A and B are shown apart, each in its own frame.
Chain A
Amino acid sequence: MKPFDYVRPATVTEAVAAAAQPGAVYLAAGTNLLDLMKGGISRPDRLVDVTRLDGLDQIETLADGSLRIGALVRNADLAHDAEFARSYPAVAEALLSGASAQLRNAATVGGNLLQRTRCAYFYDTASRCNKQAPGSGCDARDGDNRSHAVLGWSESCIATHPSDFCVPLVALDAIVEIEGRGGRREVALDELHRLPGDAPERESVLEPGDLIVAVRLPPAARGFAAHARYLKVRERTSYAFAVVSAAAALRIENGRIAQARLALGGVAAKPWRARAAEDVLKGVAPTADAFQEAARRALESAKPSGDNAFKIELARRIVVRALTLAAAGTPVRIPALPASPFASTSGAVHV
C-alpha cells in the first residue's frame, strides 16, 4: 500500500482544514475506501479519520418535526432504531437490504451517501476510465455493461450510484448538511450527486474539505409512513447490489393519492427521483392503470447504455410493484428479507 498520513482531528473545523489539503480524503468506516486503496484505485496521501468526531452519531428530532441523522450513525443502528423505522419505514427497509450485516454494522450514513460506483472498469486500474483519468475514455461503453445506467448517462460515463439508502432518502426530500471551508451549508440530496455529463470525475457538488455532518428529513417525510416501501431486484437473495430498485411512498386520503414519492436506484449516477411519475399520481386513485402510467413516465427518458435494455422494462415493472406494495400499506414489521420480491414468503431467517 502507498504510505499515507493518518490524522484524527478532534473537531469538525480541524477535520475540514485537514481534509482541504490536496491528496486528503475522509475516512469513515472504510468499507468502501479501504477496498479502493487496497486495489490501488484510491491512492490518498492523507486519511482524515472522522469516526472519533463528537456529536455526529446522533439521531434527533428537531423542533419543527424534522429528523436529523448524524453522518457517523451506523447503517445498522439507524435501521434498527424503532422510532426511525416506524416513521420512515422505506428508508429502514432500504438500509437493511444493503450489503451484509457485518458491513451495515460498520458503514456510516456519510460514507453510504458518498460510496463510489461499482462499475468494474472503475475498479480495474488497467482499464480506461474517465472517472479515474479524465479524458482517457470509458471501457465500460463497449465492455460488460449489463448493469450500467439507463438514465442520465453520458458518452463519457455510464456508471450508476449503488446506494440503496439514498433511494428512499431522495424520494423523501432529504437534505444534506455540509461543513466546509466557508462554514455550514445545505443541499438537497437530489442535488448532491452530479450526473456525469462531460466531467464524470466530479461525482458530487462537494468541494475539497467538505464534510457531510448530517442528513435531515423534513417534517413532511413522516407523512408517508403508512404507505412506504423499498423494492430491490438483485441476483441473489441477499448481499448483492440492486439490478434495479425503487422506493415508493404515498399519502393516501379518502381513497386517493394526495401525494406520491418515487425514486429509482441502480439506474443512474445518482439516486433517481421520478417527479414526472409523482405528478401523474397526484389526486388519482391507487389503481394498476395509474401505476402503469407512472412507470411509463418514470422511464420516459431512459435509454440503454449498452447490453442493458432489460433494465428499462425491469424498472417499469419495479415501479408498478413498489407502488402497489406501498398502496397496500407498510407492513407492521420489516420483512425478514427486506425489499426482496420474496419478502412475503415465510420462513426466512437470514438476510
Chain B
Amino acid sequence: MSELNLTSAPAHLRHGSNIGQPLTRRDGILKVTGQASYAADNHPPGMLFAVMAVSSIARGRVVSLDVAAAKRHPGVIDVMTPDHKPELAIDPDLKTNPFVFRMEVLQSNDIRYANQAIAVVIAETLEAATEGAAQLAPRYEVQPALVGLDAGESFVPPVVGVGNPTESHRGDVEAGLAAADKQIDATYETPPQYHNAMEPHAIVARWEGDKLFLDTPSQAMVMARARVAELFGLAPEKIHIRSPFLGGGFGSKGFLTGPQILGVMAAKLVGRPVKLVLRREQMYGPVGHRAPTRQRLRLGADGEGRLTALDHHARTVSSTFDDFYEPAADASHTLYAAPAIRTSHDAVRVNTGTPLFMRAPGEATGSIALESAIDEMAWACGMDPLAFRLKNYAEVEPMTGRPFSSKALRACYEQGAARFGWAKRPLQPRQMRDDAGLLVGWGMGTATFPALMFQAEARAAIRRDGSGVMEIGAHDMGQGAWTALAQIAADSVGLDIDRLDFRSGTSDLPDAGIAGGSAHTATAGAAIHSAGAAVIGKLADLATSDERSPLFGAGNAGVIARDGRLIRRDDESRSESYAEILARAGVAEVEARGTGAPNPAAMEQYAMHAHGAVFAEVKVDPELGQVRLTRMIGAFAAGRIVNPRMVQSQLFGGMIWGMSFALHEAAITDRRSGRIMNANLGEYHIPVNADVPPLDVITVEEHDPHVNALGIKGVGEIGITGSAGAVANAVWHATGVRVRDFPIRIEELLT
C-alpha cells in the first residue's frame, strides 16, 4: 500500500467533472516542503553506502584492482568485484524477453564502454566508499575504442525501435525523384544526448530473509520487479518496490539498470541495507541515451510544390553487446503525403552503453532532419513553409493508407500561425532585424507522436462512508500522474476528487504498465476508468435489485453516478447515496477491477497520432553568431486533455527540449578514447532560464472516438518533435545559413 499522504485539496476544485480541470499538483506541497521522499532519501537503520568504481577505458579488460588498498581505507566494509559477489540466478546477458536489456553487473572483467562499473565499494560512509573506489587503481588491457558513426562496418539491423521494420516503402521513390522538378538531397547529423534526469538513478536495497525491499525510481515497477525476480531467483511477490516520485526519467528509468542491480547485490553481499546513488558523470553510460544519427533525406517535388518522393535513411549506432536502434527515419511515415516514401536504417557498433529510449525516441531525431528538409524544399519551391506543408497535408497516413482516428493538424497550423503572426513572414531569409540590429528569423515545424497504449490494471472500491479508493501502481515522474490519474479516477466513480483515496507508486498495487511512450495517462487512465465503471456497476446492482431502494428496478443502464450518489437516468429525483446503499446492504465495501489495453481492431483500422505545429522566432547576432530563441508557440491536438495545467507543462518541457536539441545539447565523445568529455551539467549544455522566452501553448480541441474510451492521446513526448526543427529553420531564416549538424554552433554562423 502507498504510505503516502497527499495534501488535501488541490486548487480549482470544482464539482461535477474532475477531468478537464486545471488542478495543481496534489503532491506539490509535499515537494516544495521537502516531504516527498525520493529513493535516495530513505535511510533504513544500519544502512551502508555503496559507490561504483567505473572504467576509464571504453574497450578492453581490467587486469588488476588493488582491493587490499581499498579495504584498508577506514570505514570500508567490503569490495564487490567479479571474483567476489553474490551469484545471480541467471546470466544477466540472457535476453529473457525483448524488453530485457543487457547490463553490467560485474559478470566479467571485460570492458564494453567507459563508465562501466568494474567494482563496488561498500562502506560506513559515502566518503569512505568514494575513497575506497579511488584506491582501487585499476590497471587495464586497452583495446582501441570504436567511436562515432563511422566506426567499423555498417550493417542493417533486424528491427529498429520496438520491433519496427528496418526498411519500409510505398510507391517508387526513384521514379518519384526522377520525375521531380525540384530535388533536395541533404544530410543531417544529431549527436548523442543523455537524459540527465535531475534525480540520478538511486537504489536503497534491504533484504529481510528472502524478502527484498527496494526504494528506486522506476517508470515501470512491475517490469522492474520481474527483472529483479529473475536475476535473484525470487518470486515477484517477495519483492516490494516503492517509487512514489521520480525526479524525471525521460525513458532512462524505464528499465532497471546495472547499477540498481549492483545495489541489490551489494546489500546481499554484506547482509545490510545498502544505498547506491550514481554520480552525475556515471549516468553517462549504464542508463541509456539517445543514439547519434546521420540522416540523409532526398525529396522530390513537382512544379506546384507537391512532393513526388521522400527518401529518408538514418545511420545510427548501438552498443557492441546489445541492440537498440534509434528509429529516426520512421518519422517520415506519418506527416507528408508523398506518393512514394522509403525509410531505411543502418548502424555501426560502438563502445558505448546501449542507447535506449529517450523522450520521443526516433521521432525527435527524425523530426529535426525531416522538418529541416521540408523547409529546404519549401524554399527550393519558392513557397512559404506553412503553405508547403498544407499543400502536402496527409489526409490518410501516407505510409499505410489508413485513415486517421482523428487529426486536427490543420487547426493546429491555423491557430498557431494566427497567434504567431506567421502571415507577415518574408519568404527570403535574412530579411528581418530588430531595433538593435540583430537578425530575426521565423521557422516552423510539424509535431507528431503516435497515440500508444500498453496494458494496465486498476482496483476500485467504494467504502461504507461513501468515499472511494482507486489503486494502481502508477508512476509520477513529475508529469503529474498523482493528479491527472486521480481526476480520471474520481470521475470514474462519480466522486469529487477529495472523496477519493488514490493509491499509487508501489509495486504491490495493480500493474499500471510502463510510464513511457506518452501512453501512461491513456493506459492507466483506461484501467482506472474501467475499474471505476465496474465498481459502480456492482453498487448499482445492489441498489437496483433491492426493493427498499428508490432505485429498485432501474437496472444497470438506468443509473448514473454523480457526487457520491446513484441517480436514476430517466428520473433525477430518484437517487440514493453510496453510503446508504452499502449500509442497507450491510457490506463494508464493494470492489472491482478493470483493465486498460489497446484495441487491436481499432489499431488495425486507424492510424493513431497526436499532432501539432510549432512556430519559433530566434535572434542571431549578425557578426558574433550567438543565437537566442525569443518566441515559441506550439499548437497541439492530442485528444482529450485531462488536466490542462499538467498538459501545458508537458508541452512546455518538450518545446524547451526541442530548442535544446537544435541549439545546445550534445555529449562530446573523445574520438580516441571513447570517453565522454562533458559528463556534467556545467558543460553538457541544456537551456537555462535565460534561454527560455515566455512560451505559448494552444491545445486544439480534438475528439477521438477510436483511441480509447476516454479519447486520450498523450502529450509526454510530442512537444520535442516539431520544436527542434522549428528553431533550426528559424536560424536559417534569420541568417540564410543552413546548418545541418546539430546542435547549431556559433562557428557555423560566423559568415
Which A residues contact B (CB, under 8 angstroms)?
1-3, 40, 100, 118, 120-121, 124-127, 139, 142-144, 146, 233-240, 243, 310, 313-314, 317-318, 320-321, 337, 340-342, 344-345, 348, 350-351
Considering the chains assembled together, what is the distance between the CA atoms of A126 and B625 in angstroms?
Answer: 34
Which residues of A lie under 8 Å from residue B131 when comparing CB positions?
1-3
- Interface segment out of the listed B157-165, B262-270, B671-679: B671-679
Chain B residues with CB under 8 A of A142 = 672
For the complex, is B1 an interface residue (Cβ under 8 Å from A)?
no
The answer on a CB contact under 8 Å between A238 and B672 is no
Among A146, A310, A342, residue most surrounded by chain B Cβ atoms (within 10 Å)? A342
Assess A350 versus B690: contact at CB under 8 Å? Given A1-B127, A240-B685: yes
Q: Does B628 contact A (CB under 8 A)?
A: yes
8 A Cβ contacts from B425-443 to A: 434-436, 438
A2, A124, A235, A243: which contacts B675 (Cβ < 8 A)? Answer: A124
Main secondary structure of the interface of A (DSSP, over half): loop
Task: Write out the residue numbers on chain A whose beta carbons fall within 8 Å of the beta carbon of B434.
Answer: 345
Known contacts A345-B438, A345-B630; decide if A40 and B691 are in contact (CB<8 Å).
Answer: no
> Cβ of A310 and Cβ of B678 under 8 Å apart?
no
Contact between A238 and B690, CB atoms less than 8 A apart = yes
B666 to chain A, nearest CB (A): 10
Is the Cβ of B134 less than 8 Å from the Cβ of A237? no
Chain B nearest Cβ from A229, distance in angstroms: 14
- Contact A314 to B624, CB < 8 A, known contacts A143-B672, A143-B677, A236-B664: yes
Chain B contacts to A: CB under 8 angstroms:
56-57, 74, 127, 130-131, 134, 434-436, 438, 619, 621, 623-626, 628, 630, 663-664, 668, 670-673, 675, 677-678, 683, 685, 687-691, 745-747, 750
B56 lies within 8 A of A126 (CB)? yes
Nearest-CB distance from A338 to chain B (Å)? Answer: 11
B residues in contact with A125, CB < 8 Å: 56
- Contacting pair A318 B624 (CB below 8 A): yes
B-side contacts of A3, CB under 8 Å: 74, 127, 131
Question: Is B691's CB under 8 angstroms from A236's CB?
Answer: yes
Q: Indicate if the CB atoms of A1 and B130 lie closer than 8 Å.
A: yes
Inter-chain contacts of A351 with B (CB < 8 A): 690
User: Which residues of the partner chain A approach B689 to less than 8 Å between Cβ atoms?
Assistant: 238, 350
**Bound: A1/B121 CA distance, A:** 13
In the complex, what's the smallest C-beta–C-beta distance from B364 to chain A, in angstroms? Answer: 19
Instruction: Assess whether B626 is in contact with A234, with CB atoms less than 8 Å apart.
Output: yes
Chain B residues with CB below 8 A from A350, complex form: 688-690
Bound CA span A40–B133, Å: 11
Taken together as a complex, chains A and B put the C-alpha atoms of A100 and B690 apart, in Å, by 11
- Contact call A143/B670, Cβ cutoff below 8 A: yes
Which chain B positions have C-beta within 8 A of A124? 56, 675, 677
Q: Which B residues are in CB contact (< 8 Å) with A337?
A: 690
Residue numbers in A under 8 Å from B687 (CB-CB)? 236
Do A239 and B626 contact each other (CB < 8 Å), given the known contacts A120-B683, A345-B436? no
Contact between B677 and A321 (Cβ–Cβ < 8 Å)? no
User: How near does chain A come to B626, taking the closest CB pair, in angstroms?
Assistant: 5
Closest chain-B Cβ to A244's Cβ sits at a distance in Å of 9
Of all chain A residues, which has the CB nearest B670? A143
Contact A237 B691 (CB under 8 A): yes
Query: Contact partner of B668 among A100, A120, A237, A342, CB < 8 A?
Result: A120
**In the complex, A234 Cα to B627 Cα: how many Å?**
9
Contact of A237 among B56, B628, B671 (CB under 8 A): B628
Residues of A within 8 A of B438 (CB): 341-342, 345
Given contacts A2-B134, A143-B672, A310-B747, 14 further A-B contacts (CB under 8 A): A139-B672, A144-B671, A236-B663, A237-B690, A238-B690, A243-B746, A317-B624, A321-B623, A340-B626, A341-B621, A342-B438, A344-B436, A350-B690, A351-B690
Known: A118-B683, A240-B685. A348 touches B625 (CB 8 A): no
Question: Using Cβ atoms and an 8 Å threshold, which residues of chain A touch B688?
Answer: 100, 236-239, 350
Picked from B57, B127, B630, B664, the residue with its CB within 8 Å of the CB of A235 is: B664
CB distance from B680 to the nearest CB of A (A): 8
Report the Cα distance A313→B746, complex, angstroms.
Answer: 12
Sample 21 A-B pairs with CB under 8 A, ordered by A number: A1-B131, A3-B74, A40-B134, A118-B683, A120-B668, A120-B683, A124-B56, A126-B57, A139-B670, A142-B672, A144-B670, A235-B664, A236-B687, A237-B691, A314-B746, A317-B624, A340-B626, A341-B624, A342-B626, A344-B436, A350-B689
Instruction: Assess whether A310 is in contact with B750, with CB atoms less than 8 Å apart.
Output: yes
Given A235-B746, A238-B689, A350-B690; A342-B683 close (CB under 8 Å): no
What CA separation (Å) do A290 and B435 show in the bound complex?
25
Complex interface: chain A residues within 8 A of B672 (CB): 139, 142-143
Q: How far is the CA of A233 from the CA of B664 in the complex (A)?
A: 14
> By the criterion CB–CB under 8 Å, are A126 and B623 in contact?
no
A237 / chain B contacts, CB cutoff of 8 Å: 628, 688, 690-691
Residues in A whose Cβ lies below 8 Å from that of B677: 120-121, 124, 143-144
> Which residue on chain A has the smallest CB distance to residue B55?
A126
Contacts of A1 in B (CB 8 A): 127, 130-131
* Chain A hits for B664, CB < 8 A: 235-236
Q: Is the CB of A120 within 8 A of B626?
A: no
- The listed residue with most A CB atoms (<10 A of its CB), out of B74, B626, B688, B750, is B626
Residue among B621, B675, B690 with max Cβ neighbours from chain A (10 Å): B690
State the 8 A-B residue pairs at the shortest beta-carbon distance, nearest first. A126-B56, A310-B747, A238-B690, A237-B690, A350-B689, A120-B677, A344-B436, A341-B621
B498 to chain A, nearest CB (A): 36
Q: Give Cα distance in the complex from A236 to B685, angstroms.
A: 8
- CB-defined contacts of B619 to chain A, threshold 8 Å: 342, 345
Bound complex: CA of A341 vs CA of B621, how far in Å? 7
| Pairwise interchain contact A126-B675, C-beta atoms closer than 8 A | yes
Q: Which residues of B contact A344 (CB under 8 A)?
A: 435-436
Min distance, Cβ A5 to any Cβ of chain B, angstroms: 14
In whole angstroms, how far apart are the Cα atoms of A3 and B134 in the complex?
Answer: 12
Which residues of chain B have C-beta atoms less than 8 A from A240's C-beta?
A: 685
**Whole-angstrom distance between the Cβ of B343 and the nearest chain A Cβ:** 32
> In the complex, which of the residues A1, A100, A237, A345 has the most CB atoms of chain B within 10 Å of its own CB atom?
A237
